[in-house]
Amino acid sequence: MSQFKAASEPCWLYGKPAVDAVLRSVPEDFVVVEQLGFEPDGEGEHHFLYIRKRGENTDWVARQLANFCQVSPRDVAYAGKKDRHAVTEQWFSVHLPGNRAQLNWNLFGGDSIEVLRAVRHGRKLRLGALQGNRFMLRLRDVSDGAELARRAELVRAGVPNYFGEQRFGHHQGNIDKGLALLDGRLKERQRHKKGLYISGVRSWLFNRLLEQRIEQGLWSELLDGDVLMLNGRQSCFRYAGEPDVAQRLAAGEINLTGPLWGTGELMTQGSAQAFEQRVYAEQQPVCDQLCALGLKQERRALRLIPGALAIEQESDGQWRLEFDLPLRELCVWQSGAGAAADE
């Protein structure tokens, strides 16, 4: 357990930021706009609703939708959860089969919820069926605006694709429970909680490998037998000394990857495989227990490249950031009043 705890805070690629700021003094300081990636077809029994919410969590809105439509909560779906202490726009779907009367969606909501758009579709909304999210952050009480702008230029080239703190739960409790599940000290009947705890352990293992590549100067260095992934896609291939790969990696066209542990042999070969085996040697019993669950081994990109990053100073000590992917390397921020926890 202590080994997991000791290294659970990932290291910084560009060094810990020397900039302090306050984030989320009010929900409007953190705006998330969901990018669905496809257009509902306009026909079918599933009603797609594009909803803006303020200060509410996704599951609560889904329950309110089920009550409003007089359907089971299982008939309401969403593609992903969004922060509670924020203003977010996201899609929900409600299954309303048969010839039910058209509901007046303007009657749903209130001060904190608004239906922006309603359109039918032939299939329900699936978890993870997103192209991405657009973020807007307003940072207040920025201690050094020039340094913030300088670091923004650094992260345009990419940041470590760590799993964030939310994956690990309060005080990293998901890791503790995942380890307890693996060695039989904990029984969990609820399937989604069991998956959450096991995912916390796998995510920590991935973060550990990523951290080691940074600490050992291998963040952007190719090792013989490395597995690379096309940026923004899941297609992978193994590096075998091709002369153009280093250039493509530097250009952001492809990214190095690390394993999400499960059954099967490591996809890497040569020195890359030897490196991964060394990193995970101290956690081999945990890796073996994950394999015993039948989880399939997968790969995840080590680098996250923000899209359309924009930074603007709004006033003295106040800056606005916009980007298509979450960032971690800009500054050390503190939550404003009332923003102590997310979903």
124 class by beta-carbon count within 10 Å (0-12 exposed, 13-18 middle, 19+ buried): middle
What is the residue extent of each domain of the chain? Answer: 27-135+316-335, 160-304
Among residues 41, 59, 75, 83, which one is catalytic?
83
Entry pTM? 0.83
Per-residue pLDDT tens, the chain, 343 aa: give them.
445 544 456 689 999 899 999 998 999 999 999 998 889 999 999 999 999 999 999 999 999 999 999 999 999 999 988 888 899 999 999 999 875 667 899 999 889 999 999 999 999 999 888 888 999 999 999 999 999 999 999 999 999 999 988 788 888 889 999 999 999 999 988 988 999 999 999 999 999 999 999 999 999 999 999 999 999 888 899 999 999 999 999 999 999 999 999 998 999 999 999 999 999 998 999 999 999 999 999 999 999 999 899 999 999 999 999 998 655 666 666 666 444 334 4
Q: CA–CA separation, 104 vs 78, rounded Å?
A: 20
Q: CA–CA separation, 304 vs 132, rounded Å?
A: 12
What beta strand segments (E) does 61-193 contain?
Answer: 76-78, 87-95, 113-121, 132-140, 159-160
φ and ψ at residue 334, rounded to 5 degrees: -110, 145
Residue 338: per-residue pLDDT:
43
**């599940």: which residue's tokens?**
181
138-154 b/e with 16+ CB inside 10 Å = b? bbbebebbeebbebbee
Per CATH, the number for 27-135+316-335 is: 3.30.2350.20
**160-304 belongs to CATH 3.90.1640.30:** no
Is 244 one of the catalytic residues?
no
